[in-house]
Amino acid sequence: MKKSVIESVKKHIDGGFVLEKPKDLSFGHYATPLAFSLAKKLKKSPMIIADELCLKFDKETIFDSVIAIKGYINFKLSDGFLDAKATEAIKENLNFAKSDKNESILLEYVSANPTGPMHIGHARGAVFGDTLTKIGRHLGYKITTEYYVNDAGSQIEMLGLSIYLAGVDRYTDDEVKWPDEYYRGEYIYDLCDEAKNEFGVEVFTQENIQKLSSWGKDKMMNLIRDNLMKAGIEFESFVSEKELFKDWDDSYKKLKSNDSVYEKDGKVWLKSSEFNDEKDRVVVREDKRPTYLAGDIIYHDNKFQRNYDKYINIWGADHHGYIARVKSAVHFMGYDEDKLEVILSQMVALLKGGEPYKMSKRAGNFILMSDVIEEVGSDGLRFIFLTKKSDTHLEFDIDLLKQQDSSNPIYYIQYAHARINQIFQKSGKSVDDVIDVHLKDLNEDCRNILFSSLLLSEVLEDAFESRQLQKLTEYLRNLAAAYHQFYNKHKIVGSEDEDKLLKLSAMVATSLRVGLSLMGIEAKSRM
C-alpha cells in the first residue's frame, strides 16, 4: 500500500525526530520542536537553529512552506502533494489506509460463561475485540479470533441444577428445595420448557442434572452465537475448557520441572508471589481437582504452543487480579510473558431518558445485549461501546441514539456520508468524473479539510497501537462536523470550483466510509 501522509513527510525530512500537529492549522500541518533539543548541543538559540534548518526544506515540492515560529519548524503541505494522496485514497476506496504488518496475533475475547444470555458487560468487550480485529487486519496484522468456552466446573453444574429445579417447579407436584445459589431469570424456565419438549417431563430428576448441564450449555452457546451475530461478530475458533483439561498433566509437569509449584495443606500452590502477585495461588484443591486458575494455565500453555508473535486477552475489569497470576504461570512454563497483553473492559451504565435502563426479566438482574440491539440497532450498540477507552466506566443515554439530529453522534457521521452522496446525485456527476481533477490553488478551508480527511492512516495506527479505539470515533465525529460546517459555508453544486469541491467531498466520504466499516457500522448513502 501507498505511504500515509505522515510517512511521506518523514521520508522527505529524514524524520528521526518528533512531528506534532499544531492545533491551529494556519501555522502549518506539522511542526517539530527539533531546534529545542539541539540547542544545548549546538550552544545556539532554538530560534536561530530553527531559522537555519528551514533553509534545508524550502525547495522541497512536498511543502508549500516551511517556516520557523518561536523555535518551532512548521511545515505546510503543498496542494499538489495533498491532491496526489487524495487521488490514491479515493481510488483505493475501502482499501484506503491499509498497511502490511508482519506480526501474528491470537486475540481472545468475550469468553462469557455459557450459563445465560449475553448482557451489555459482555457486549462492550465483544464490540471492542471485533473492532480491534477489523482495524488490525486492515493494518495488515494477521489476527486469529478465539472464544474460550468455560464449559467445565461449578457454573455449568449450576446451570443444569437450575434447569432441573425450574422443571420440578413447573412440571411436577414435588416441593422445590431452592438452594442459596442458582441461576434466576425467565430464560431458565424457557430452557426447562425446551428440555421437557425434547426429553419429556421424566428428565427432571437429580440423576439427569449432568445431562441437563451439558444440554443447557450447548443451548446457551447457540444463543450467545446468535447474540454476537446480531452485532455482526463472528469467531474463527471456539476452544473448550473441558476438552483442554485432558492436557493438565502436561502443563503441570512444566510448572513442576521449573520448581514453580509446591504442596501445602493438601493443596498445590503456584509461586505467583514471586512474579508480582500479592500471594501464591492454589492450582489443585485438597480433593485433587484443578482450580479455575489451572484452566487458565492449560489454555495459555495451549496458546503459546501455537507460536503467535503476540497474545491479546480482553477480560472484564473484575479479572484484574488474574493478570499477575496468569503471567507468572506463562513465565514458569518457559514462555515469554511479555508476549501476553491483557486489555480490561469496564462495565456499562445505560440510561433511557435520564433514568437507569430497565433490567431484563428474562435474564434476571442484567441488561441484555439483544434488548439494546432491538432498541437502537447494531450500529448504535457498536458506536456506544467505542466512544470511550475500554478500561473506563461508560454511561450513555440510548435515547440520544434515536435523535435524528446532531445530538446523535452516529447519525451526525452517517448524515455527512449520505450528504456527500446526495451532492453527487444533485450534480449529476460520479466520483470517476472528478477523480483526475487537480486540486490546486485551494483556499484555507479546502486545504484544511482535505488534510484532515487524509489522516485516517495515522488515526488507525494510533488507535490500534494504543488500544484506544475511541480515537477513531472522535476522528470521525470531528471530520463529519468539519464537513457539515464546510458545506454550510461553501456552495458546491453549481459553483465555479464544483469539480474540485466534489473531489474534496469524495475524499471525506472515503475516510468516513472506511472508518465506519472498521467499526462494523454501515455508511449510509441516503437518510
pLDDT at position 94, please?
Answer: 97
Residue 486: inside a domain: yes
Non-local (6+) Cβ contacts of 447 within 8 A are 79, 82
Query: Residue 381 in contact with residue 374, Cβ under 8 Å?
Result: no
Same domain, residue pair 500 and 444: yes
Residue type, 363: A
Q: What is the pLDDT of residues 134-192, one digit of tens each?
A: 999 999 999 999 999 999 889 999 999 999 999 999 999 888 989 999 998 899 999 99
Q: What is the pLDDT of residues 73-124, one digit of tens each?
A: 998 999 999 999 999 999 999 999 999 998 999 999 999 899 999 999 899 9
Residue with more model confidence, 17 or 261: 261
Burial label for 12, CB within 10 Å (0-12, 13-18, 19+), is: middle
Same domain, residue pair 383 and 425: no
Q: What confidence category does residue 18 fall into, taking pLDDT thresholds of 50, 70 and 90?
A: confident
Residue 276: inside a domain: no
Same domain, residue pair 416 and 503: yes
Residue 511: inside a domain: yes
Q: What confidence category does residue 60 fall into, taking pLDDT thresholds of 50, 70 and 90?
A: low
Q: What is the mean pLDDT of the chain?
A: 92
CATH code of the domain in which 430 resides: 1.10.730.10
Residue 94: inside a domain: no
Same domain, residue pair 358 and 382: yes
Same domain, residue pair 383 and 419: no
In whole angstroms, what is the distance from residue 168 CA to residue 310 CA? 49
Same domain, residue pair 410 and 472: yes
Same domain, residue pair 502 and 449: yes
Q: What confidence category does residue 62 fall into, taking pLDDT thresholds of 50, 70 and 90?
A: confident
- Of 204, 230, 256, the residue that ends a domain is 230
Residue 456: inside a domain: yes
Q: What is the DSSP letter of 129?
A: H
pLDDT at position 104, please?
Answer: 98
Residue 291: inside a domain: no
Average the pLDDT over 23-28 and give the result: 84
Same domain, residue pair 445 and 483: yes
- Count of residues in the chain: 527
- In sequence order, what DSSP letters do the residues of 272-336 get, joined into one string? GGGGT-SS-EEEE-TTS-B-HHHHHHHHHHHHHTT--SEEEEEEEGGGTTHHHHHHHHHHHTTS-
CATH code of the domain in which 36 resides: 3.30.1360.70
Percentage with pLDDT > 90 across the chain = 77
Query: Does position 61 have pLDDT exceeding 80, yes or no?
Result: no
Residue 265: inside a domain: no
Q: What is the pLDDT of residues 374-430, one digit of tens each?
A: 999 999 999 999 999 999 999 989 998 888 888 899 999 999 999 999 999 999 999
Listed range (249-263, 273-287, 398-412) with the worst mean pLDDT = 398-412
Q: In what order do the strands lie in the sheet with 281-284?
A: 261-264, 267-270, 281-284
Q: What confidence category does residue 13 fall into, taking pLDDT thresholds of 50, 70 and 90?
A: low
Look up cell 503476540; give the residue.
Answer: 310
Average the pLDDT over 253-280 and give the result: 95
Listed range (354-358, 361-365, 413-417) with the worst mean pLDDT = 361-365
Query: Residue 457 in contact with residue 483, Cβ under 8 Å?
Result: no
Helix (H) or strand (E) holding 262: strand 261-264
Angle between helices 79-92 and 5-12 in degrees, nearest 10: 140
Same domain, residue pair 368 and 408: no
Look up cell 466534489; give the residue.
Answer: 502
Q: What is the pLDDT of residues 490-508, one digit of tens each?
A: 999 999 999 999 999 999 9
- Of 203, 230, 257, the residue that ends a domain is 230
Same domain, residue pair 451 and 489: yes
- Of 177, 202, 230, the residue that ends a domain is 230
pTM: 0.93
pLDDT at position 2, please?
Answer: 60
In whole angstroms, what is the distance from residue 329 CA to residue 340 CA? 11
Average the pLDDT over 443-451 and give the result: 94
What's the Cα-to-Cα distance from 129 to each of 126, 145, 312, rounded to whole Å? 5, 9, 10
Same domain, residue pair 419 and 448: yes
Average the pLDDT over 356-382 and give the result: 86
Residue 236: inside a domain: no
- Please give the radius of gyration of the chain, using alpha carbons only, rounded to the nearest integer: 28
Same domain, residue pair 371 and 458: no
pLDDT at position 360, please?
Answer: 75
Q: What confidence category does residue 10 fall into, taking pLDDT thresholds of 50, 70 and 90?
A: low
Query: Does position 26 have pLDDT exceeding 80, yes or no?
Result: yes
pLDDT at position 516, please?
Answer: 98
Q: What values do phi and psi take at 97, rounded to 5?
A: 75, 10
Structural domain including 61 reads: 5-77
Q: Reduced to 3 states, what is the DSSP secondary structure of residue 145?
A: strand
Number of domains, the chain:
4
